C-alpha cells in the first residue's frame, strides 16, 4: 500500500464519518447539539478535501 492509497482510504473514511455526523445533527438531535454535530461533519469534509488535494504530492 503506497501513500496515495492510504490518503484515498482516509478520504473515503472521512467523507463517510462526515455524512454520519451531519445525519446525526439533522435527524437525531434537534437542539444546540445538532448544530455542533453538523459543524463537525462539515469540518470532516474540509479535512477530506485536504487529504484529496495531497494525493500525488506527498
Alpha-helix residue ranges (DSSP H) falling in the chain: 3-23, 32-54
CA 39 to chain centre: 11
Give the pLDDT score at 4.
87
Q: Indicate the DSSP class of residue 31.
A: S
* Burial bucket for residue 41 (CB in 10 Å: 0-12, 13-18, 19+): buried
- pLDDT one-digit tens code per residue, 3-57: 889 989 999 999 999 999 999 998 888 788 889 989 999 999 999 999 888 887 7
Whether the full predicted model's pTM is greater than 0.85, yes or no, is no
Q: How far is CA 28 from CA 14, 34, 37, 50, 56, in A?
A: 20, 7, 10, 28, 38
Amino acid at each position: 500500500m503506497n501513500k496515495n492509497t492510504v490518503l484515498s482510504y482516509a478520504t473515503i473514511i472521512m467523507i463517510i464519518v462526515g455524512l454520519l455526523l451531519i445525519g446525526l445533527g439533522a435527524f437525531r438531535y434537534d437542539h444546540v447539539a445538532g448544530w455542533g454535530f453538523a459543524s463537525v461533519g462539515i469540518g470532516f469534509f474540509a479535512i477530506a478535501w485536504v487529504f484529496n488535494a495531497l494525493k500525488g504530492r506527498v
